[in-house]
Amino acid sequence: MALKTDIRGMHYEYPDYFEVGREKIREFAAAIKCDDPASLDEKAAAELGYPGLVAPATFMTLFAILAQKGFFQTVDVGLESMQIVQVDQKFVYKRPVVAGDRLWCHFDIVSVQERFGADIVVSKNTCIHDDGEIVMEAYTTLMGQQGENSAKIDFL
């Protein structure tokens, strides 16, 4: 196995909350060319019954990457010498994320498998509202392989 540390079943809680800002929602929506009025106009969101702007479906990648980064900074798995690619990501929403939400994240390693000389790691981010409600679960699959031409990963 290329990973230095056996991370199977490990759990990490991101140490701070993520507050969903309305301008950040608008900025993200513009960046991904989302023209949904509920993500851009508070009146349109209110007409649909939401208390604030509705974040686009992929908005929570902003928080998921923070939790992932926090975990990999805490646990040395040797990623700096690996070639890594994200091969899958899935979001399971329990309800829409809206401006003003204050969310916490629990990060779990669901599985680690070695296939054809590569490590395949599946992680799960569970985003929880301040009131304890699970808002969203994100599953990310990364594949890493040792390589002489591996680039140093700066985000870690």
Domain range annotation of the chain: 11-20+59-146
pLDDT for position 128: 98
Model-level pTM?
0.82
Class of domain 11-20+59-146: alpha beta
pLDDT for position 14: 95
Residue pLDDT tens, the chain, 156 long? 466 678 889 999 999 999 999 999 999 999 999 999 999 999 999 999 999 999 999 999 999 889 988 988 888 776 665 678 889 999 999 999 999 999 999 999 999 998 888 889 999 999 999 999 999 999 999 888 766 554 455 545
Burial class of residue 132 in the structure, from the number of CB atoms within 10 Å of its CB (0-12 exposed, 13-18 middle, 19+ buried): exposed
